[in-house]
Amino acid sequence: MRAATWTLALLLLVPAGAAGAPAYVQNPNATAATGPVEIDVGAGTVNGRRTALTEVPSAGAVRFADLDAHRGPAPAAAAQDFRAELPAGLVQNGDMIVPEEVLSGALMVGDLSLVDGPRPVGAPADSCAFPDEVPPGIYEGDARAGGEFPRRGTIYLNFVGATLSTGGENSAENFSSIARTGHPYPAFSGGEPKAVAVAQAVAQDFARWGIRVVFDPRPRKLLPYTMAMVGGSYSDTTSGPAGGVAPIDCEDFGQRNVCYSFTNSEPATSQANIVSQEVAHTYGLEHTYGTDRIMSYEGGGDKIFGANCQQTFALQGQGNGCQGVNKCHCGIGDLQDDALTIGIIFAPFDVPDVTPPEVTLTEPADGSVYQVGDEIIVGFAVGDDFGGYGWKLVIEDEAGEILVDQADYDRALEFSIVGLPAGTYTFTGEIEDHADHITTHSITVIIEGEAATTGDADTSGSSSASASDTAADADTSASSSAEGSSDGGSGTAGTNTDSGCACGTADVGAPWWMLGLVPLVGGRRRRR
């Protein structure tokens, strides 16, 4: 969208802030797990919701290789305005979805309990140029496994569309705070060659960091990744008019955010600028001035992420939710250093990742025996030299049939399993990082006895879900046209990963059209 149109959208969509707003607001993407992942195999539920316990390919999903069949004019926006359907507590500020308190100046923090407490010794001095200016609760780190800084990351450009659902942010399951539940988000209408060109340009934007850009096949569900929906119109979401839209996630606590770029027929460079800006919003970057800046509404051509403290763009009296992060780098909340903000979260591209992640099932003990009806607690211990890794639990029966294949999205490090009949089972913990290293650890669990007969079928699991949950569960099947939907062609644009480990999956090399890209590099920084 042209800069003038973007600015108009911003002016139209920012509501007036309320007086007396709190100084801090909880980052909605930083909520910690409150208990184990609860799986009832017999009832087919995860955390009380009926859903597929294993990967289910979506019937009729668009393949990337078929994009040319969907080529056509850019879709027209529907007349209906869906902004009222944003989840309670969230509002649209231009192309950003933020907690409503941010519009009155509140700063987002990952843990509100840290605001009134003393700052831990040494934090955030190892990350911040101006540690004395940083408010409490900023850059205290993500205590959950996989949240360590620096991380490696993946951006998945979804050109093939999907059926999404509201209900938080989970790229693997097609959950988005901006989604229209049950609405089929359309495939990109610009054709396959332009999609590849957009992916190449986005990869160049992020080339200096350990962030790979992929588009076919989709990453596996256990791996945290940011998903950018490319194509469609704002009316395919609950947002108002904009060239794109994204949730702001200061410090990228969520790691599984979904953002949108409503671009189809524009030049690939222009589309890439919008895609990269929306992805960067999910890392906590906001708008700045500067005709050459990706985070700016101004100018055009091939833009960049700035490497200096640049003035941010905000209407008078409106807040900037990530001012605390800006103070870390620039000493002033109204200045933003794009490169430093991303560089705290992600490792430089030139630091190789040759070490596989580690996973151990800490409980139960191998060969443990349970009785039918018992609860089985499965504990995980995980780690890696870079943050950003993900893990899952797989349960197979004696015949090798997979009964459970579930990622630990909340990073709870614990599963509660009930509903398995008598038999011998293999429980496997699997972990993956963004360099395609995969490690597993398996144990055997024996279940003895027979299920009690009550005369009535247990339907408690199937009736606990609300109508909206049921609709959402049906929608998630579209999220995994999955690993098996690739046509075999390269779908990685500037992978920014390193070979050096044969840990159960092939390392993906850069395609021929990316070989000419020379990434910018920097020094490595470790948080823990």
Model confidence at 498: pLDDT above 90: no
- Find the range with the poorest average confidence among 26-30, 243-247, 423-427, 452-456: 452-456
Whether 329 is covered by a domain: the verdict is yes
Residue 87 has pLDDT above 80, yes or no: yes
In a domain, 526, yes or no: no
Q: Is residue 400 part of a domain?
A: no
Lowest mean pLDDT among 104-118, 187-201, 457-471: 457-471
Please state whether beta strands 258-261 and 226-230 pair in parallel, antiparallel, or not at all (unpaired): parallel
Asked if the structure places residue 88 within a domain, the reply is yes
What's the chain's average pLDDT? 82
Decide if pLDDT at 516 tops 50: no
Of 124-133, 459-468, 505-514, the poorest mean pLDDT is in 505-514
Is residue 11 pLDDT above 60, yes or no? Answer: no
Token pair listed for 497 = 């990963």
pLDDT band at 302 (very low <50, low <70, confident <90, very high): very high
pLDDT in tens, 182-197: 999 999 999 999 999 9
Residues 6+ positions from 140 with CB-CB distance below 8 Å: 110, 111, 114, 119, 120, 123, 124
pLDDT, residue 318, reads 53
**Once rounded to an integer, what is the mean pLDDT over residues 116-133?**
76
User: Taking the alpha carbons of 249, 95, 189, 55 in that order, is the dihedral positive or negative?
Assistant: positive
- Report DSSP letters for 391-414, one per residue: EEEEEE-TT--EEEEEE-TT--SE
**How many structural domains does the chain have?**
1
Rounded to 5 degrees, φ, ψ at 396 are -120, 145
pLDDT of 8 higher than 70:
no
Q: What are phi and psi of 132, to 5 degrees?
A: -75, -15
Pick the more confident residue, 58 or 45.
Answer: 45
Residue 411 domain flag = no
Question: So what's the pLDDT on residue 123?
Answer: 63
Residue 414 domain flag: no
* 393 to 97, 171, 387: CA distances (angstroms): 33, 19, 19
Lowest mean pLDDT among 85-99, 267-281, 508-522: 508-522
> pLDDT class for 10, splitting at 50, 70, 90?
very low
Is 190 part of any domain?
yes
What's the pLDDT tens digit per position in 372-406? 999 999 999 999 999 999 999 999 999 999 999 99
**Residue 265 confidence class, pLDDT cut points 50, 70, 90:** confident
- Give the residue, 455 or 118, on which the prediction is more confident: 118
Averaged pLDDT for residues 500-525: 35
Whether 476 shows a pLDDT value over 90: the answer reads: no
Task: Provide the pLDDT for residue 21.
Answer: 46
- Residue 493: pLDDT band (50, 70, 90) is confident
Determine the average pLDDT of the residues in 254-268.
Answer: 94
pLDDT over 50 at 206, yes or no: yes
Is 402 a domain residue? no
pLDDT at position 391? 98
Question: pLDDT band at 120, cuts 50/70/90?
Answer: low
pLDDT-derived band at 143 (thresholds 50, 70, 90) equals confident
Cα-Cα-Cα-Cα dihedral of 451, 455, 459, 461, to 10°?
-30
Return the pLDDT at 450. 84
Give me the mean pLDDT over the 245-265 stretch.
95
> Which of the given ranges, 44-58, 66-80, 227-241, 425-439, has the highest pLDDT on average?
425-439
Q: Residue 115's pLDDT is what? A: 85
Task: Grade residue 122 by pLDDT with cuts at 50, 70 and 90.
Answer: low
- Mean pLDDT to the nearest integer, 349-363: 96
Percentage of the chain beyond pLDDT 70 is: 77
Sorted by sequence, the CB contacts under 8 Å of residue 378 that are 6+ apart come out as 361, 363, 364, 393, 414, 415, 416, 417, 427, 429
Q: Residue 494 corresponds to which tokens in the numbers above?
A: 């500037």
Give the separation between CA 417 and CA 372, rounded to whole angstroms: 11
State the residue range of the domain holding 273: 3-29+58-352
